[in-house]
Amino acid sequence: MPCDQSARVEAYLDGELDAAESLAVEKHLETCGTCKAHLVQLEAMRAALRGRATYHRADSNLRAKIDAALDKEAPRSNVIAWYRNVWAGAAGGAMATALAASLAFFLLLPAETDPLITDITNAHLRSIASEHLIDVVSTDRHTVKPWLAAHADLSPPVADFSKEGFKLIGGRVDFLEGVRAAVTVYRHGGHIVNVFAWSNYDEDLPEFATRNGYHIVFWKSGNLIFCAISDTSIDDILHLSRLLKALSQTDARE
């Protein structure tokens, strides 16, 4: 018999739930074999579609039908009509340029179902909701860095940036899409910042993304990929990323 939580499991997989709801579903999955099997089936179907499905550009007739259907849909019809009217009235002007830039910004963000974004967000949520936030507790880079090197086979840049507002509190080993990652953990005021580092990732990465209120920043240094995630402001995370980039360059010269 299907579980009455199956719809929430589907929403969870699609990244449509907030942090609290996602945690509730993960808790439910620990005890519900039906929903766990349902999730496995959904993930397998999505992987099969991504791997084997063919893609075709919609022709003008199909696009017209979709536009017509959207115009009949409420309440989105008002939003769509607003965009069309504004775009038509501002075409060729400065407002059109600004609107085009805004639309391009949102279109370039990764899809909500991006598996890496989902994995990073879930790993961050698990860490702050459980006792597995830190494996090695220390504010000393000479303790955290060699521990990560020994347990994650990676040696990411590590430092205590307390003067800049980012206090080093430790590190741990985690996994992203089955790949071992070294995680350096910082506290910024009342916020936790997880900085993931891993290697051998060949796919293109976004510069930043947002999922369920958490900001995610990516960058590369040498053969390592880095990702910082937190619910603090995006400017704060970018500042930490710049500090770590500069530290990577210093470590490379030593």
Give residue 178's pLDDT: 79
Please tell me the number of Cα atoms within 13 Å of 220 on its side-chain side.
Answer: 11
Give residue 151's pLDDT: 92
- Domain range for 19: 6-52
Closest to 166 (Cα-Cα) out of 191, 144, 141, 135: 191
Checking if the pLDDT of 129 tops 60, the result is yes
| Ordered strands of the 167-176 beta sheet | 136-137, 167-176, 179-188, 191-199, 224-230, 214-221, 208-211
Structural domain includes residue 232: yes
Question: Mean pLDDT across the stretch 8-22?
Answer: 75
pLDDT tens column, 50-78: 555 555 555 667 666 766 665 554 444 44
Structural domain includes residue 141: yes
Structural domain includes residue 209: yes
Give residue 231's pLDDT: 92
Give residue 10's pLDDT: 82
Checking if the pLDDT of 180 tops 80, the result is yes
Q: Is the bond preceding 75 in cis, omega lying within 30 degrees of 0?
A: yes
CATH number for position 180: 3.40.1000
**Are 203 and 220 part of one and the same domain?**
yes
**Are 120 and 167 part of one and the same domain?**
yes
* Residue of 76 and 213 predicted with greater confidence: 213
Please tell me the number of Cα atoms within 13 Å of 214 on its side-chain side.
Answer: 28
* Residue of 30 and 13 predicted with greater confidence: 30
**Are 171 and 248 part of one and the same domain?**
yes
Give residue 242's pLDDT: 94
Structural domain includes residue 245: yes
Average pLDDT of the chain to the nearest whole number: 77
204: amino acid identity, one letter: D
**Are 39 and 75 part of one and the same domain?**
no
**Are 123 and 157 part of one and the same domain?**
yes
**pTM for the full model?**
0.57
Question: Mean pLDDT across the stretch 206-214?
Answer: 85
pLDDT tens column, 157-178: 999 999 999 999 999 999 887 7
Six-digit token string for 54: 């063919």
**Are 225 and 132 part of one and the same domain?**
yes
Question: Mean pLDDT across the stretch 180-195?
Answer: 95
Structural domain includes residue 91: yes
Place of tokens 């992203």: 176
Structural domain includes residue 1: no
**Are 91 and 125 part of one and the same domain?**
no
Give residue 1's pLDDT: 58
Angle, CA 253 vertex, CA 248 and CA 254 arms, to 5° = 100
**Are 165 and 206 part of one and the same domain?**
yes
**Are 34 and 128 part of one and the same domain?**
no
Give residue 95's pLDDT: 45
Total domains in the chain come to: 3
Give residue 252's pLDDT: 63
* Residue of 82 and 237 predicted with greater confidence: 237
Checking if the pLDDT of 108 tops 90, the result is no
Structural domain includes residue 130: yes
Cβ-based neighbours of 51, under 8 Å, separated by 6 or more: none
Structural domain includes residue 140: yes
Question: Mean pLDDT across the stretch 132-159?
Answer: 92
**Are 128 and 244 part of one and the same domain?**
yes
Give residue 173's pLDDT: 93
Q: Which of 16, 31, 52 is the last residue of a domain?
A: 52
Question: Mean pLDDT across the stretch 207-230?
Answer: 90
Q: How confident is the model at residue 37 (pLDDT cuts 50, 70, 90)?
A: confident
**Are 36 and 69 part of one and the same domain?**
no
